[in-house]
Amino acid sequence: MTTTEAVITIVGLALISLLTRGFFILPSRELPMPAWLQRGLRYAPVAALVAVVVPEVLMTDGRLLTTWQDARLYAAAAGIGWYFWRRSILGTIVTGTGVMLLLRLGLGW
């Protein structure tokens, strides 16, 4: 890649970033949002979290797990169980982390 191509790429990415981030700030009046879009955006944070967490739990080195002896599986199950039992985010994090720590240190998983 030449210097000119690199500069054009950087400027282009900066403009795209400015446009997409400023899309809701730049108009002088509020843009109406359709009801179907508002309903869909309610699920965006959950979808993003699932997209990050599930591959981390179910994959290693870019491949699906081939064994049940992985601390991440049991830690995720314990965290999910705690959440549905107590509805506590902090408890979910502590439970999942505790199970993973015990399995890694105790069983060497």
pLDDT tens-digit series, residues 42-101: 999 989 989 999 999 999 998 999 999 999 999 999 999 999 999 999 999 999 999 999
Beta-carbon contacts of 5 under 8 Å, excluding residues fewer than 6 positions away, are none
The dihedral built from the CA positions of residue 38, 40, 41 and 42, taken in this order, carries a sign that is positive
- pLDDT at position 83, please? 95
pLDDT at 109 over 90: no
Name the residue among 43, 74, 45, 44 with its Cα closest to residue 57.
74
**pTM across the whole model:** 0.62
- pLDDT at position 38, please? 93
pLDDT at 26 over 80: no
pLDDT-derived band at 22, boundaries 50, 70, 90:
confident
Q: In whole angstroms, what separates CA 1 from the centre of its chain?
A: 32
